[in-house]
Amino acid sequence: KNQVEQSPQSLIILEGKNCTLQCNYTVSPFSNLRWYKQDTGRGPVSLTIMTFSENTKSNGRYTATLDADTKQSSLHITASQLSDSASYICVVSEYDKLIFGTGTRLQVFP
Amino acid sequence: SQTIHQWPATLVQPVGSPLSLECTVEGTSNPNLYWYRQAAGRGLQLLFYSVGIGQISSEVPQNLSASRPQDRQFILSSKKLLLSDSGFYLCAGGRDNSPLHFGNGTRLTVT
């Protein structure tokens, strides 16, 4: 069964610190991998989207990496801000079907 | 730019009542459309997706159904709601390798 697993399940960091979130997937065939940020009670918002040929993509303080050989991706957040507190969801595309990970809940404390 | 409209924002329905949630897309044509459900504190569960008018793929067997009567309209329905249908329902749309856009969701409480 195609799956997307994320770690850690939750994370607490201090404002200004960096953090890295992990995503492992078994989806095949693979079209693209996306990272989303979801604030509580809101719809997810796209951060990055990468095809299998892309290794890294940045969006401001967010940098996503992809290793299609090992089927791993990471999302690195630099100089965290209080507004980064949210759930971060890894989504892998199998053609037109999107398979969501269960997310990492990030809390940034002052 | 693409916008996903979803309504209502919140809904309280008794067990056994029917359901109809509507999602419309603005700013793009022939999008892939998705219905997701998110239980409290959990990840998104794909319910249905559609690649075109009248084309619906169901991911989870349940008492929900979906229809796509128009290119930019996606409807989630139920004839008789169950308590377990409570959750946060999200509609999303997008094309190929472009970012997926989400609506603001409908919080459904079945009592």
> Which pLDDT belongs to residue B97?
64
Tokens of A30: 């693979």
Probe site for chain B from A3, A98, A104 (most B CB atoms < 10 A): A98
Q: Are B86 and B62 in contact (CB under 8 A)?
A: no
Q: Is A54 on the interface with B (CB under 8 A)?
A: no
Query: How far apart, in Å, do the first and last CA atoms of chain B sit?
Result: 38
Give the model's pLDDT for residue B61: 63
pLDDT at A33: 93
Nearest CB to A32 within list B32, B34, B97? B97
Question: pLDDT tens digit string along B63-93?
Answer: 899 999 999 999 999 999 999 999 999 999 8
Are B84 and B108 in contact by the 8 Å Cβ rule? The answer is no
**Beta-sheet strand order (sheet of B73-78):** B3-7, B19-26, B73-78, B64-70
DSSP state of A98: E
CA distance B88 to B109: 9
Task: Find out whether A67 and A73 touch, Cβ atoms under 8 Å.
Answer: yes
- What is the chain A residue with the closest CA to B94? A96
Place of tokens 């951060």: A47
CB B20 within 8 A of CB B7: no
Alpha carbon of B104: minimum distance to chain A alpha carbons (Å)? 5
For residue range A48-107, list pLDDT tens digits in order. Answer: 999 888 999 999 999 999 998 999 999 999 999 999 999 999 999 887 777 888 899 999
Chain A interface test: which of B100, B101, B107 (most A C-beta within 10 Å): B100
- As a whole number of angstroms, the distance between CA A28 and CA A87 comes to 25
Q: Tell me whether B60 touches chain A (CB under 8 Å).
A: no
| Residue B13 near residue B111 (C-beta atoms within 8 A) | yes
Structure tokens at B55: 């084309």
